[in-house]
């Protein structure tokens, strides 16, 4: 295939033509071959180079071979698991962890997933009920955070609970109803004093 819009950077005359070849690599002393390694060759001077777009595809293929050597899911396999549960890459990262851009990097071949992540994805794919359990855990986590945020301005959560009286550190602020104005306002508790939430807040 000829990439007519791209001139050879070496001679600046010829056009670059895309080719494929076999390239040998090694990962942890395990040899492997990429059979469709992409590169370009100049139609005039014969110079060979790998374009950025080709390098991205080649890197993905190499990373997938690394995954195969480790016994991990490929980037395509990871995408299939995500699509199976109709998740966006962002929400998949919320459910499974790994960071906000984790699944984008896994599927683009930029990063190889950890052994723990690989196991979690396999179990989710193969064992009924695991995905539902992960979703419930995520929802409960968000609810707990939202509840804390609803009455805590600055809090060491190690000293706070969501029921009964709350033992709060001196720098903690929380919202309670003012008896006179009936409006909520920020109140700073006295040092070393346990506060109960007024009016069931």
Quick one: 88 and 51 in the same domain?
Answer: no
Residues 87 and 62 in one domain: no
Listed residues 46, 70, 94: the one ending a domain: 70
24 in a domain, yes or no? yes
* Same-domain check for residues 15 and 56: yes
Q: Give per-residue pLDDT as tens, 94-109.
A: 999 988 899 999 998 8
Residue 111 lies in a domain: yes
Q: Are residues 60 and 82 in the same domain?
A: no
Model confidence band, residue 110 (pLDDT cutoffs 50, 70, 90): confident
Identify the pLDDT of residue 170.
Answer: 36
Give 147-183 pLDDT, tens digit per residue: 444 444 433 333 333 333 333 333 333 333 333 444 4
Q: What is the CATH number of the domain that holds 31?
A: 3.10.20.860
Domain boundary among 26, 46, 70: 70
Rounded Cα gap, residues 143 and 8, in angstroms: 58
Residue that is last in its domain, among 22, 53, 70: 70
Q: Are 79 and 103 in a shared domain?
A: yes
**Domain span at 81:** 75-127
3-class secondary structure for 10-51? CCCCCEEEEEEEEEEEEECCEEEEEEEEEEEEECCCCCEECC
**Residue 143: its pLDDT value, please?**
52
| String of DSSP letters for 118-169 | HHHHHHHHHSTTHHHHHHHHHHHHHHHHHHHHHHEEE--GGG--SSS-EE--
Residue 9: name the closest of 52, 56, 60, 38 by CA: 52
47: helix, strand or coil = coil
Instruction: Tell me what pLDDT residue 142 has.
Output: 63
Look up tokens 């930029």; give the residue. 110
State whether 80 and 62 are in the same domain. Answer: no
| Structural domains in the chain (count) | 3
* pLDDT tens for each residue of 26-85: 999 999 999 999 999 999 999 999 999 999 999 989 999 999 999 999 999 999 999 999
Most confident of 13-17, 114-118, 178-182, 196-200: 114-118
Residues 30 and 89 in one domain: no
Residue 18: phi and psi, rounded to 5, are -80, 135
Does 158 reside within a domain?
yes
- Would you state the pLDDT for residue 36? 94
Task: Tell whether 64 and 88 lie within a shared domain.
Answer: no
Q: 187 pairs with which residues across the strands?
A: 174
| Length of the chain (residues) | 201
Rg of the chain, C-alpha, whole Å: 28
Task: Inform me whether the pLDDT recorded for 132 exceeds 80.
Answer: yes
Q: Give this prediction's pTM.
A: 0.58
């Amino acid at each position: 295939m000829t990439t007519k819009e791209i001139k050879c950077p070496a001679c600046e005359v010829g056009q670059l033509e895309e080719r494929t070849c076999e390239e040998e690599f090694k990962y942890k002393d395990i040899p492997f071959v990429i059979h469709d390694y992409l590169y370009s060759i100049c139609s005039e001077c014969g110079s060979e180079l790998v374009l950025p777009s080709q390098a991205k595809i080649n890197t993905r293929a190499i990373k997938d071979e690394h995954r195969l050597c480790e016994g991990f899911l490929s980037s395509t396999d990871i995408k299939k698991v995500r699509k199976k549960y109709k998740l966006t890459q962002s929400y998949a990262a919320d459910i499974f962890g790994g960071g906000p851009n984790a699944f984008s990097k896994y599927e683009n071949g930029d990063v190889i997933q950890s052994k723990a992540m690989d196991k979690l994805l396999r179990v989710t794919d193969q064992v009924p009920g695991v995905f539902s359990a992960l979703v419930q855990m995520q929802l409960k986590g968000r609810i707990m955070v939202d509840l804390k945020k609803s009455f805590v301005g600055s809090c060491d959560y190690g000293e706070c609970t969501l029921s009964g009286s709350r033992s709060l550190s001196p720098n903690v602020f929380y919202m309670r109803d003012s008896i006179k104005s009936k409006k909520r306002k920020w109140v700073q508790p006295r040092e070393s004093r346990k506060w109960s939430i007024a009016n069931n807040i």
